[in-house]
Each structure stands twice: as C-alpha cells, then as structure tokens.
Amino acid sequence: MASFLTTKAPCCGKLYVCRLCHDAEENHQMDRFQVREVQCSDCHTLQQAQQTCQQCHVQFGEYYCDICHLFDKDKKQYHCQLCGICRIGPREKYFHCGKCNLCLATSLRGNHKCVENVSRQNCPVCMEDIHTSRVRAQVLPCGHLLHKTCFDDMIRTGAYRCPLCMHSAWNMEDHWEQMDKEIAQSPMPTEYQDATVKIICNDCQAHCMVPFHVLGMKCSSCGSYNTAQDGGLIQQPRQQQPEPDTETEGETDTEPEQHDHPE
C-alpha cells in the first residue's frame, strides 16, 4: 500500500488510502478497476491515476498497475491477465493453470490435481474469498484450496482431512506406519478379535471388508487409515468346543465288578 496518495472512490467520491479501508467504512465495495483519480498526500493535487505526482513528482509507489490501480512497494508483482488481478511474483516462478483458473508455483506444473475454477470458491475454513485474497493459497493433494493461514490453523488442531472431500491433506505415510505399530501392540478383546467391518476409504474411494479395531480401520487397497465405517460390526461365528464323552466319564465312576468266590 502506498502512503503518498489517497484514492478517490468512483462509487461515492470519497478519498481513502486504499479500497480495503473504503470497504471497511462504507456499506458498499469499491471497484478498483473503475478508479480514475488520486490525490497526492504531499501537494494535495487531485489528478488522473498514475505512478508519479504530476505536480510535485513524488512517486506514489514502487509498483503501479494501471489496470488494478494498485500502488505498492516492489514485491516482484505482476498482473495476470487471465486471473484479472495482480499477483506477487516473480512472474517466472509462476504459471497460470487454465483449468484451475489460477496462478500456481512452477513446481506444480503437471504435478497437481486440477479442479475447475477452484479459486473462485471461498475458503472452506473461513468462508472468505481465495482468488483475490492477499493471503496465499495452499493447494491440497485433492486439488482444493485453503488459505495458507487456515491450513496452518487446521494442522495445529490435529485435523488432517480436506474440509470439502475428506481426502488426506498431506502425505500421511509416516503416521499410518505409527498406527500400524500401535494397533499391533493393542490387540482387541477376545470377543472382537474375529470381528470385521465394511469401510469406505476417503483417500482412494475403495470399499473394503477389514478387521475391526477401535484405533482405526486400515484400507486394504492403499493402506490409509483415513476411512469411514459403512455399517455395523460383522461377527464371525466362533467354533464350538467338542463336549466331553459322558459315557467314558461314567465308566470311571462305577464300582469294580464283584466276583463270586468258591466256598
């Protein structure tokens, strides 16, 4: 944000340091693309929006976009025509994904799951805009977006699933291995040792029949514990122990046979 000018709001004609200050004070929003005039804070000259004051030649901002009418310090910004707004760069480290309709880091080129117009949805945590937010977005493995700050808060609470589709929000292999060890060291009581349950895996969408355990049910397809139980327990019939031979036992209880002795 530049500190050497105020912007004349095209909607109400009032002067504000920035559109966010305007929106916080007024009951309507300023359209940044319709801004036509600014006022220099040094000489108070009202003039056409431009980077340098026409009267005293003070620079309004190291960076100026004549489309967004953004004045700011130099942060390697660039205007993305397809996004329709300015992004913090540098430009060569980002590319615009046509399907996601969003600028992403070049490391994600061909290495992310596309979700059509994903940035046009609000953040599912705070329910605020992602596309024009000054907070950068976190791209989840499922392709959905969160504000990076919302993602960090989610991790701190122990949540690990995407709020929209329940897919794991990052690589959980180490955690699944730890759960394997905990389950191996915690056998279920005898009456539940043969119990099974149907599950749906939130990570690979597989439907499986797996052993029941209170600590978690592991997907037999991908090895994830990010699963949901589908129905109740299925108890396997236990084998009956053979009953003892009562006749044999009876013979041992009889008195020995009496024999006649000759007189």
What integer pLDDT is reported at residue 4 of this predicted model? 82
Cα 1 off chain centre by: 30
Based on the number of CB atoms within 10 Å of its own CB, is 121 exposed (0-12), middle (13-18) or buried (19 or more)? middle
What integer pLDDT is reported at residue 8 of this predicted model? 95
Pairing of strands 15-16, 63-65: unpaired
Residues of the chain with pLDDT under 50: 1, 248-252, 254, 256, 261-263
Q: Which fold has domain 82-157?
A: Herpes Virus-1 (3.30.40)
What integer pLDDT is reported at residue 240 of this predicted model? 56
Q: Could you tell me the two tokens for 82? A: 């397809």
Q: What angle do CA 227, 222, 209 make, to 5 degrees?
A: 55
**Residue spans per domain, the chain:** 5-74, 82-157, 176-235
Cα–Cα dist 26/143, whole Å: 36
176-235 architecture in CATH? Single Sheet (2.20)
Q: Same fold for the domain at 82-157 and the one at 176-235? A: no
pLDDT digits (tens, 9 = 90+) for 50-86: 999 999 999 999 999 999 999 999 999 999 999 999 9
Cα–Cα dist 65/94, whole Å: 18
**What contacts 207, CB < 8 A, 6 or more positions away?**
198, 199, 200, 201, 230
Which of 15, 9, 12 lies closest to 40, judged by CA? 15
Query: DSSP labels for 136-164?
Result: PEEEPTTS-EEEHHHHHHHHHTT--B-TT
Helix H or strand E encompassing 195: none
Q: How many CB atoms sit inside 10 A of residue 165's CB?
A: 15
Distances 26 to 13, 29, 79, 102 between C-alpha atoms, Å: 12, 7, 27, 30
- Residue linked to tokens 């989840």: 140
Pairing of strands 46-48, 15-16: unpaired
Backbone angles phi, psi at 171, to 5 degrees: -65, 120
What integer pLDDT is reported at residue 58 of this predicted model? 94
**What contacts 246, CB < 8 A, 6 or more positions away?**
none
pLDDT digits (tens, 9 = 90+) for 97-108: 999 999 999 999
